[in-house]
Chains A and B, each alone.
Chain A
Amino acid sequence: MSTPSLRYRLAARGFDGTTLLILPGLAVMLGLFIYPFLYGLADSVMPKEGPWYANYVTFFSDPFQYRTIASTLWLALPVTIVNLAFAVPIAFRVRLMTRQRLLTTILVLPITLGTVFVADGLLTFLGPQGWFNRVLVLIGLLDAPMKLTNNYWGVFASLVITGFPFAFLLTLSYVTGIDPAIEQAAATLGANARQRFMKVFLPLLVPGLAVTFCLAFVQAFAVFPSAVLLGAPAGPTRVISIAAYQAAFEQYDHSLGTAIAMVMGAVELVVVLIVLGARSFFYRGPTGGTKG
């Protein structure tokens, strides 16, 4: 008895010609994502001067720099929570609609317009003479126009407009993935709308909501153009991406710039891991009848 050929043994473990098709894509990701990432990590511990950790010391000892972490979180966390808090009830309403397409199309619009267009539009719309202030003054909610641009609220508005549709679409797809028979069963047993939501839907939705929270948070955390155009980039909306960009491409210190970029990625991953870790306390099982 001879042993099977190498080719046969590899195929039995899942390696054959078809498996090799991943190689080009894998090579691109290794070359353009992993290599630069490792390069950046190495670059960040090779500062222009001082010991290997000098860049991180520079960042964490200068309040102008390390406060960018707090100001980024102070924007990203409330925005994410607000977006999710609005997305869930609206998704629950929309799920009952027969014509979802028009609404979802309107809501996808701001994602594709991108932050730069939205920032440009908000500068006019929210400005002291913009329609938003004019309407509020006209109906008597305000005596004088509010200052809404070039501060925290301008960036906040921009993140809600570009982030809410995304959170909504994700939530909607999770909500519609829940088998309606489950809700009907709960209703048959006499649960009212509130009970059905709190005791049936919410536990089933938690895993999906955790993922939605993470993805929406990643988007809000990466805020860059709107913080420059609509915010106060030297003051309260000096977010960490501005700090990283300035270090790398305005002071031409790519070592410090990548160090800040690494801090940015680390802070963001910590939040994502906390949220995904908390998810494991909840039910994780099939939510759809046939989806499994």
Chain B
Amino acid sequence: MIRDQGLVSKIWRFAVWAVAGLFILNLIGVIAAVVVNSFATRWLGTWLPIGLTTKWYFSAWKEFQLSSVVLVTFQIVFTVVLISGVLGVTTAYALARRDFPGKRVVVLLFLLPLLIPPLTYGIPLATVLYQLGLGGSFWGVVLINLVPSLPFVVLVMIPFIEQIDPRIEAAARVFGAGTGSLFLRILLPLLLPGMLAALLLVLVRTIAMFELTFLIAGPTSQTLVVSLYYAVFASGVRAGQSIDAMAVIYMVTTLFWLILALQFVNPSQIVARAKQQPAS
């Protein structure tokens, strides 16, 4: 790699790293503030709280009925992942393997939900779902969350499928494999890494998806992030530490899946499929 050794480029290099460092420092500060406060007995006007306690976790767990909220969150999220996984992979397979008139329109249809703010399609969709009697229900939340997650799976899977040589499938056909065994024994093993990556990312995104769930969720179908919003929104009634304890619980749930997802994907390749240069 080419490196300039002049003074200006040294200063520039330092400035860039300083900005990146400041950003990370503030980010750590934000997260640490929540974590520290969730363990604080009292924290007013000092650098650190007077004492530490874990009682807020117990009170948050009871106060916000988190056991049921966490259960509902995972039921919703896994349903979304399952449906968008099955439909997304089949759609992506057809789009990757076949060229047909109108394909560009179909691809655009799957691109649009990712280009339009969630509230723009969320408000009319929520209105329709309320009129169908799905407002506040489990399936209402699942359906509204499918709109961004299904296209996401499709767009992540298309390049994965295109990488697989179609001659492998043709060879399997020649040896007499039916569609079922072709899928189970040839495609599934080859696609599994890509599917895992896409589905874990959908999982993380759906846990964090606030806007759409907020529009449709009722008292029994709130996910963790919506409960957290209501807790922060109505703060003053509840102890701040208790809210932050809930925020930490939320963070741990997303973090767990994120770290799992990062075992399978390089985050810089999520968004575009660029050729990775071997670092030299």
Pairwise interchain contact B16-A264, C-beta atoms closer than 8 A: no
Q: Which of B211-255 contact A (CB under 8 A)?
A: 211, 214-215, 225, 228-229, 232-233, 240, 243-244, 247, 250-251, 254-255
Contact B268 A169 (CB under 8 A): yes
A118 in contact with B30 (CB, 8 Å): yes
Residues in chain A near residue B2, CB distance under 8 A: 183-184, 187
In contact, B124 and A36 (Cβ under 8 angstroms): yes
Q: Is the CB of A115 within 8 A of B210?
A: yes
Q: Does B192 contact A (CB under 8 A)?
A: no
Which B residue's beta carbon lies closest to that of A42?
B124
Whether the Cβ atoms of B117 and A290 lie closer than 8 Å is no
Q: Give the distance to chain B from A192, nearest Cβ to Cβ, in Å.
A: 6
Cα A265 to Cα B205 with chains together (Å): 22
Question: A62-70, A85-93, A277-285: which lies at the B interface?
Answer: A85-93
- B154 neighbours in A (Cβ, 8 Å): 25
Across the interface, do A120 and B271 meet the contact criterion of CB distance under 8 Å?
A: no
What is the bound-complex CA distance between A25 and B113, given in angstroms? 14
Interface contact B4-A25, CB-CB below 8 Å: no
The CA of A208 and the CA of B30, in the complex, are separated in Å by 31
A114 touching B94 in the complex, CB below 8 Å, given contacts A123-B232, A257-B123, A288-B275? no
**B27, B204, B225, most chain A CB atoms within 10 A:** B27
Count of CB-CB pairs between chains A and B under 8 Å? 290
- A285 → chain B closest CB, angstroms: 15
**Complex-state Cα separation, A50 to B228, whole angstroms:** 40
Partner of A106, one of B27, B87, B98, B119: B27
In the complex, the answer to whether B232 meets A39 with C-beta atoms within 8 Å is no
A130 close to B (CB within 8 Å): yes
Q: Taking A25-B87, A192-B4, A218-B117 as contacts, is the C-beta distance between A116 and B277 under 8 angstroms?
A: no
Q: Are B128 and A39 in contact (CB under 8 A)?
A: yes
B34 touches A34 (CB 8 A): no
- A26–B120 touching, CB < 8 Å: no
**Closest Cβ of chain A: how far from B35's Cβ, in Å?**
9
CB-nearest residue of chain A relative to B227? A116
Q: Binding site of A, secondary structure by majority: helix, strand, loop or mixed?
A: helix
B124 touches A29 (CB 8 A): no
Closest Cβ–Cβ distance, residue A88 to chain B (whole Å): 10
Is B110 part of the binding interface, using a Cβ–Cβ cutoff of 8 Å? yes
Known contacts A34-B109, A90-B20, A120-B244; A132/B123 CB under 8 A: no
Cβ of B198 within 8 Å of any chain A Cβ, yes or no, is no
Tell yes or no: B31 within 8 A of A by CB. yes
A173 contacts which chain B residues (CB < 8 A)?
Answer: 268-274
B95 at the interface (CB under 8 A from A): yes
Judging by beta carbons under 8 Å apart, are B225 and A222 in contact?
A: no
Given contacts A104-B267, A114-B225, A258-B127, contact A193 B250 (CB under 8 A): no
With A21-B91, A32-B146, A112-B255 as given contacts, are A164 and B274 in contact (CB-CB < 8 Å)?
no
Per the bound structure, the CA–CA distance linking A115 and B273 in Å amounts to 27
> A176 near B: Cβ within 8 Å?
yes
Determine the chain B residues whose CB is within 8 A of the CB of A37 once the complex forms: 121, 124
The yes or no answer to B194 lying at the interface (CB within 8 A) is: no
**18 interchain pairs, CB-CB under 8 A:** A14-B99, A26-B106, A32-B147, A33-B121, A40-B121, A90-B16, A90-B20, A110-B27, A112-B254, A114-B208, A116-B210, A180-B277, A183-B2, A222-B117, A225-B210, A225-B214, A248-B123, A264-B117
Q: List the 6 shortest-distance A-B pairs measured between CB atoms, nearest first.
A: A40-B124, A177-B274, A25-B91, A14-B100, A222-B117, A114-B208
Given A90-B20, A131-B47, 18 more pairs with CB closer than 8 A: A17-B179, A26-B109, A36-B128, A90-B19, A98-B279, A104-B266, A107-B267, A114-B210, A117-B225, A124-B240, A187-B2, A224-B119, A224-B211, A225-B229, A241-B117, A248-B127, A258-B123, A288-B274
